[in-house]
Amino acid sequence: QSALTQPASVSGSPGQSITISCTGTSSDIGNYNLISWYQHHPGKAPKLLIYEVRKRPSGISNRFSGSKSGNTASLTISGLQAEDEADYYCCSYADSSPVVFGGGTRLIVL
């Protein structure tokens, strides 16, 4: 049950767009569309941002978007805001386990 690979950190200035990648294998991301993304502010409950690769739950800003190509999923945040500074996690269904998370990416808003 190896974790999906995410960059440790990304940064951007307010108003810019950033993309966080999440790389897996043909046993998880590459073969399934059960990919979700979560935002986690320390001390708070994680929040679902994206599910099934690109769908947004009710109430989630359209500044958050998801995509997938091959074994890599991506989360794009446009129009960066200070409150977007948080940890972001990808998650996928996997052959070896129902669920596997990425290692997490710290987003720094400059």
Partner 1 sequence: EFQLMESGGGLVQPGRSLRLSCAASGFTFDDYAMHWVRQAPGKGLEWVSGISWNSNNIAYADSVKGRFTISRDNAKNSLYLQMNSLRPEDTALYYCARDPSTGAGPFDYWGQGTLVTVSS
Residue 27, judged by CB atoms within 10 A of its CB (0-12, 13-18, 19+), counts as: middle
Name the segment binding partner 1 (CB under 8 A); options: 12-20, 51-59, 63-71, 72-80.
Answer: 51-59
Q: Are 82 and 100 in contact (CB under 8 A)?
A: no
Q: Are 32 and 93 in contact (CB under 8 A)?
A: yes
SS3 83: helix
Among 21, 46, 64, 72, binds partner 1 (CB under 8 A): 46
Report the C-alpha gap between 67 and 100 in whole angstroms: 18
* Closer residue to partner 1, CB minimum distance, 57 or 79: 57
Name the segment binding partner 1 (CB under 8 A); options: 10-18, 61-69, 78-86, 99-107.
Answer: 99-107
Among 20, 23, 29, 36, binds partner 1 (CB under 8 A): 36
User: For binding to partner 1 (CB under 8 A), which residues are involved?
Assistant: 1, 3, 34, 36, 38, 40, 44-48, 51-52, 57, 87, 89, 91, 93, 97-104
